[in-house]
């Protein structure tokens, strides 16, 4: 439900940076309220603002309002803890799966190189491939 609302509302702007931005906003809200002991709720207007701040066009936010009311219910909040896994950010495709600690997700970058979009991961920690430690070469280009 949440995932499809994000995908539909962002439309062509549903890229890595915007989705990570929404994920980070929900994580931050959970973190800010963790000491309250109460479940963190996200009202429709908060969700709408998160979407707008992360790439949703103003013109489609009216559709979001209708879709939210139909799917969730008018005046019914979303439970933040049910929307994301606060411990990790997971990137998947049919041929790969990458899981990174949420607090380290800002190290991931996207770049377009020669017309192709890439997800860049700096090699800063010990890196292993199938349990074999990889040595960093630190070559300059």
Q: Could you tell me if residue 9 is inside a domain?
A: yes
- Report the SS3 class of residue 89: strand
Q: Could you tell me if residue 98 is inside a domain?
A: no
Could you give the angle at which helices 2-10 and 58-71 cross, rounded to 10 degrees?
A: 160
Determine the pLDDT at residue 30. Answer: 94
Does the structure show a pLDDT above 60 at 99? yes
Q: Could you tell me if residue 15 is inside a domain?
A: yes
C-alpha to C-alpha distance for 141 and 139, rounded to whole angstroms: 6
Q: Could you tell me if residue 105 is inside a domain?
A: no
| Count of structural domains within the chain | 1
As a whole number, mean pLDDT of residues 3-27 equals 93
Q: Could you tell me if residue 6 is inside a domain?
A: yes
Q: Please tell me the pTM assigned to this model.
A: 0.84
Q: Could you tell me if residue 129 is inside a domain?
A: no
pLDDT band, residue 140 (cuts 50/70/90):
low
Q: Could you tell me if residue 17 is inside a domain?
A: yes
Closest-CA residue to 67 (of 137, 120, 129, 5) = 5
Domain that holds residue 66: 2-82
C-alpha to C-alpha distance for 71 and 78, rounded to whole angstroms: 11
């Amino acid at each position: 439900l949440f995932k499809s609302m994000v995908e539909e509302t962002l439309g062509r702007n549903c890229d890595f940076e915007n989705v990570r931005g929404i994920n980070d906003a929900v994580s931050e809200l959970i973190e800010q309220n963790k000491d309250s002991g109460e479940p963190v709720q996200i009202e429709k207007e908060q969700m709408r603002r998160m979407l707008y701040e992360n790439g949703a066009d103003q013109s489609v936010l009216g559709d979001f309002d209708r879709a939210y009311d139909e799917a969730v219910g008018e005046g019914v909040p979303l439970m933040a803890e049910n929307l994301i896994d606060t411990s990790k950010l997971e990137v998947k495709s049919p041929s790969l799966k990458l899981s990174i600690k949420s607090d380290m997700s800002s190290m991931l970058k996207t770049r377009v190189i020669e017309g192709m979009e890439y997800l860049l991961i700096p090699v800063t920690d010990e890196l292993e491939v199938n349990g074999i430690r990889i040595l960093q070469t630190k070559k300059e280009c």
